[in-house]
Amino acid sequence: MAKHDPNELPPPYYSVEVHTLPPLQSYEEAVYGAGPRPTPPNQLYYIPQHPPPVAAQHICQPSISLPDNKRKHKCCQHSAKCFGGSGGTVLLLLLAIAIWLGVHYGTRLATTTATLDHHDSEDEGHPEKQLSVPAHDTCSNSTVQCDALRDCQLGTDESSCVRFGADGALQVRTSQDGRFLPVCYQGWDQSYANRTCAQLGFRKSFATKAVKSQQSIGLTLNNRSSLPIQGQVNVSSSCPDQNTVSLKCIDCGRQQLSSRIIGGSVAKLGQWPWQLSLHFGGSHICGGILVSPDFVVTAAHCFPRSFHPVLDASRWRVYGGVVSQDQLPSPYLVEKIIVNENYNNVTNDQDIAILKLASPVDFTNAVQPACLPAFDQTFPHGTKCWTSGFGTTDEGAAKPSKDLMEVAVDIIDVRVCNSSKVYSGSVSNNMLCAGDLKGGRDSCQGDSGGPLVCQASDNLWQLVGVTSWGTGCGQSNRPGVYTKVSSLLPWIYSKMQLESP
């Protein structure tokens, strides 16, 4: 990992021009006033100077590529894509600094920060009901996974037994076999569908049907009971007529407005109805993605454990159906913050978190969930996808756009992204890259926790990535890096199941 050079300043970046906005106070003006300001420490790559706010979504036009020798002196290798609002307080400044120090600062400071992050005590006035701390479940010596019997105190032995394949193909793992197998459609009905979806944290099922399976082995339904689905099936050598269950737990991935501009533009209401705005202390801090009436997917680094106030769920507000920060509807309250226990703030691996909302969201034309992908769903190199968020509009600006921005980006093969010319092996199996290797279209300067969505063959939009980190803005060979949702589906579904309403 490249080391941080304290004498190196952030390089320039280039943004799109959007319609004129009313003047906003800069972050430093809001915090310190117009007079002399204290000199901040050296800045992270994405953090505007004097002092560092949390970064915001920023849509870029093709930029001038920096010479190769510039790449050797980057301020830091990785930088968080997170941002703060126009009105600041000391609390927001501290949050900005916490994310600045605690997320993606390279090896020199990240090791210390990681120690803070990994060992901060969860019992310092932050009850378990608000923050999910690293879960070390207590299990008996005779624990058997997926036998429909809760052997562990938190139930983790039964929380990763269901997944979905292509076309919603339901697959269940049982203790009888240990493999994920399709469920035979014979005997299946709406009651089974509703109970299975409720088991996964959804309110009920949306649609179910029979699909043909090429597998010779399947799971037949036995006597109906109150057990989880893994306790209501038996391994069978085949399914009658090869008919197996397809199940959809939620109507998702539908846009109400579909006109889009490739180069980056201001989004319209209904274009990205799953995009959420997460506010802390009255300002937009991160993006989020609605995936069900009760759950929001976002980035783990939006909640640095070294900054305790941000771990208090009651301090957050979630806004949906927002395309302007000047026109906010009534917010949703947060009941619990669930940060991935395996999130590594040094390498950015498994940068994902879930918010459980205090009450379910009512879907409208402007507020709709994105679809979670199938466990094996892939989008090949060159697939055109979209990312969105609230962003700055001027080069190096700390002032955020009031408008929701959108930009098209291309999926980049991970082997290319890990090459020596790009990120030199820093992209893990839980990450993916998207952007333009020639420079230009990018999701730099933020909206940490915002969506990367791709349109599947059924024309529904799948949540493929969560905005995580990157270097620069629109530079050649420096695409955006996203948490790969399909790799972390077991974690997402297990947490939704354990926190099911």
| Catalytic, out of 63, 448, 468, 476 | 448
Question: Over the range 33-54, which residues count as b (16 or more CB within 10 Å of their CB) and which as e?
Answer: eeeeeeebebbbbbbbeebbbb
Fill in the amino acid letter for 104.
Answer: H
Q: Is 301 a catalytic residue?
A: yes
Cβ neighbours for 68, distance < 8 A, ≥ 6 positions apart: none
41-to-6, 77, 355, 416, 483 alpha-carbon distances in Å: 9, 17, 32, 34, 29
Question: In the numeric block, which tokens belong to residue 487?
Answer: 């790799």
User: Any residues with CB less than 8 A from the CB of 214 and at least 6 apart, and which?
Assistant: 242
Q: Which of 4, 151, 301, 447 is catalytic?
A: 301
> CA-CA-CA-CA torsion for 195, 196, 199, 203, nearest 10 degrees?
-60
351 catalytic? Reply is yes
How many C-beta neighbours within 10 Å does residue 430 have? 24
Distance, CA of 495 to CA of 131 (rounded, Å): 12
**192 vs 214: CA distance, rounded Å:** 23
Q: Which amino acid is at 309?
A: P
Tell me the whole-structure pTM to 2 decimals.
0.76
Could you say which of 294, 351, 442, 447 is catalytic? 351
| pLDDT tens digits in sequence order for the chain, 501 residues long | 344 343 333 333 223 333 333 333 333 333 223 444 333 332 222 322 333 333 333 333 333 333 333 233 333 344 445 444 444 455 666 565 555 444 433 322 232 233 334 433 333 343 333 444 345 778 888 889 999 988 898 888 898 999 999 999 999 999 988 999 999 999 999 999 999 999 999 999 999 999 999 888 999 999 888 899 999 999 999 999 999 999 999 999 999 776 555 556 788 898 999 999 999 999 999 999 999 999 999 999 999 988 889 999 999 999 999 999 999 999 999 999 999 999 999 999 999 999 999 999 999 999 999 999 999 999 999 999 999 998 655 445 566 678 998 889 999 999 999 999 999 999 999 999 999 888 777 665 447 899 999 999 899 999 999 999 988 777 789 999 999 999 999 999 999 999 998
Residue 293 CA: distances (Å) to CA of 332, 363, 496? 11, 8, 11
119 is catalytic: no
What is the C-alpha separation between 303 and 499, in angstroms, rounded? 19
Alpha helix segments (H runs only) across 259-302: none
